[in-house]
Chain A
């Protein structure tokens, strides 16, 4: 890495004081208290001890959170415009974003690891492969390996006959999503959107504002179409395929991976949308200075790469 010059360090901007952090922390605290009670009140086991206003509290917290987030970015943008941000400070933002994305990579790695474990270890063991002969013989006799699960171990032996007590009902999906319909379309949409975001970036660097706005708009459109299809796919899964959260480990891994991915697409989409609004309404960004957009585009590419992993490991294989 290049050595910093003295001049850079001297102008490193340290804001004097800030209300943002404490507001954000309080908002998060309200959200946590609310969501805890909210979720507990949905669960028949815990409902009688949960505060029935949980969700109201949560939404209050969420509102505060969004407001604070908004002012936080507003403040940084203003600072940037005032010229307070030295190249060194900008590099801090770059590093911050890069390592944040790395943490997200690890978050998804966790769920891919779970998928791998289920497919290659736990389900085969339950089916009597490898070290699982006795497990299968004594606890889940008749259960056979298949992915997606044709029937859950519980269904195979019957819920009343399983040795484990009180753990829920797991019914395998009748059918699974066909990778070559919606998922394929979604793959194409997302890959194209990654490319169009890149075009937008190039346009911005070449100072072609209009092209930038348009390419970005196209990317957004593609992104939200993706989300729309994803919602439709979930609807189909629940209503026609019998593929639900309760569909055993297949349903669990399917929904946690696609669900968190979908959530990240939404986040990335909102980030890009904000940049688009900034550009069209206020003419933000210059060919040299456009970190807000650049960071969002990295995030978008990251979400795209995760999808390719999903398409391969969740849908195709």
Chain B
């Protein structure tokens, strides 16, 4: 059809009314970056307050709001939309589809988010302040003792969840229905596979989160007693439901990152991905296991011994498929011809630092020792190694890797490398010492601490400021690339890159694959 081939409309309405997967992908990416800066600014406030013992900048009440908003914004506003943005840009191009399966719904999935987060952020200005009960919002702190803004928080979560579910359904439909002829499941790029499984996880657990916040709403306003023992409920029930969502959620965060790295490492090793099949099976096993390990976040709540053991064993098992992935990446590099462009540096750092985070995860999985680690900074260190060095690093890698395809311009390699090294150093200075203070006994979510923890906290804060600054540098790099980067017309920007997206010109035309390619 002829009218498929004209370019985008002009002006702001192009973005608001768009149904184009590339436009929507771009919107998601910018939105998530804005959220990353917002959540990062909250982290800076946290680190500034923790720079020294004593209360210097903010009140404890506000500190709790910052911790809560930081966690919520980073997880739901920064990382998840960032990967959905990547999915939008890349999945149709990778499988040879003209667009996402349900383009209008795609636009809706995006536009719900800015409103949901506007509501969430506006709670900072409401009477009684923003949610202050941690990103895990345990009842009854989040019910009987919550500030009035909790009602808006609940509906915000509903909207955000609806957005995620629609986005995921769209991805599932696209992958199942829109592959070009010859693109069988086992020929799909790894990134598409990891997203397919992620989307499945999302459709399975977001409704459960919706159920959890709905019960909170009922307990707060309508007199039910789901989470109150006085009526026969149980506060711990809330935790079971939350973590039934929450644990798969952390794999929702990391699986697309695995996918990104599985695209980039082969490209710069100039070698096909090692063990494609086992990668697929490992991803599926991780997804399956993620449904039966949730209570490892709750070892100290007083579960019966049998439950404790079951969840411990299941949790430990996850190390095996994840190990398979790590080994496969290393085997991909092995006897390749490796070069170290910025995306590759971030991917290597990903493998290195994520493995450290994964290994501390295995330590946490040991129930009897977790009694000492739980709710200490050791956990904070663990999850920033998996989420920042995992998800954020892989996002940086992805941006540098595909930026030439998106914009038709090369980023500045020196500046990219500088960004990498400052991030790498800043990240480790920030979060490595947190292992130490955690083991020494510093609880998390406290605005002030005993004197023995002072030295490492100061180091950690310095690292955080460095890391924060490097993210501003990242922003500068991206903008610099868009407006002043060297033009590249090559379809295949990276000589080792494989996949359909590298067969179309750079920048990728507004509509790609209106006639599907044939995949051998």
What's the Cα separation between A126 and B233 when bound, in Å?
A: 9
**Which residues of the partner chain A approach B341 to less than 8 Å between Cβ atoms?**
none
A4 touches B179 (CB 8 A): yes
Q: How many residues of A contact B (CB 8 A)?
A: 89
Check: A46 CB closer than 8 A to any chain B CB.
yes
> Smallest distance from the beta carbon of B487 to chain A beta carbons, Å?
28
Which of B208-216, B375-383, B420-428 touches A? Answer: B208-216
Interface residues of B in 249-285 (CB under 8 A from A): none
B211 and A9 contacting across the interface, CB-CB below 8 Å: no
- Please measure, in the bound complex, the distance between the C-alpha atom of A14 and the C-alpha atom of B98, giving whole angstroms: 8
Contacts of B231 in A (CB 8 A): 152-154, 168, 170, 246-249, 252
> A43 at interface (Cβ–Cβ under 8 A)?
yes
Q: Is the CB of B515 within 8 A of A96?
A: no
Known: A114-B237, A118-B237. A4 touches B181 (CB 8 A): yes
| CB contact under 8 A between A43 and B108, given known A49-B126, A113-B241, A154-B230 | no
- Whether the pair A21, B111 counts as a contact (CB closer than 8 A) is yes
Q: Report the Cα distance A35→B154, complex, angstroms.
A: 11
**Is the Cβ of B211 less than 8 Å from the Cβ of A22?**
no
Number of chain B residues whose Cβ lies closer than 8 Å to a Cβ of chain A: 95
Check A39 against B101 for contact (C-beta < 8 Å).
Answer: no
Interface-side segment among B49-57, B82-90, B219-227, B362-370: B219-227
For residue A295, give the distance in angstroms from its CB to the closest CB of chain B: 13
- In the complex, how many angstroms separate the beta carbon of B79 from the nearest chain A beta carbon? 21
Contact A29/B119 with A88-B177, A96-B102 known, Cβ cut-off 8 Å: yes
B215 touches A256 (CB 8 A): yes
User: Chain B interface secondary structure, helix, strand, loop or mixed?
Assistant: helix
Smallest CB gap from A122: residue in B: B234
A100 beta carbon closer than 8 Å to chain B: yes
A160 contacts the other chain (Cβ, under 8 Å)?
no
Q: Closest chain A residue to B165 by CB distance?
A: A103
Q: Given A5-B181, A92-B177, answer yes or no on A19-B169 (Cβ-Cβ < 8 Å).
A: no
* CB of A232 closer than 8 Å to a CB of B: no
- Residue A111 interfacial (CB < 8 Å): yes
Most interface-central of B18, B170, B226 (chain A CB within 10 A):
B226
The docked-state distance in angstroms from the alpha carbon of A299 to that of B236 is: 33
A140 CA / B104 CA spacing, docked (Å): 55
A40 engages B177 (CB within 8 Å) = no
Contact, CB under 8 Å: B155 / A21: no
**Does chain A have a CB within 8 A of B34?**
no
Q: Identify the closest chain B residue to A25 (Cβ).
A: B111
Q: A110 to nearest B CB, angstroms?
A: 3
Sample of 17 more A-B contacts, CB < 8 Å, known A92-B102, A100-B169: A5-B181, A6-B516, A9-B98, A10-B1, A11-B1, A20-B108, A22-B111, A29-B159, A95-B173, A96-B105, A103-B207, A114-B241, A118-B237, A245-B218, A248-B232, A249-B231, A252-B215
Residues of A near any B CB (own CB < 8 A): 1, 3-6, 9-12, 14-22, 24-26, 28-29, 32-33, 35-36, 39-40, 42-43, 45-46, 49-50, 72, 88-89, 91-93, 95-96, 99-100, 102-104, 106-107, 109-111, 113-114, 117-118, 121-123, 125-126, 130-131, 139-140, 149, 152-154, 162, 164, 166-170, 244-253, 255-256
A-B contact pairs, 13 of them (CB 8 A): A28-B115, A29-B159, A32-B115, A32-B119, A36-B151, A40-B221, A110-B210, A117-B237, A167-B140, A167-B228, A246-B223, A250-B232, A253-B226
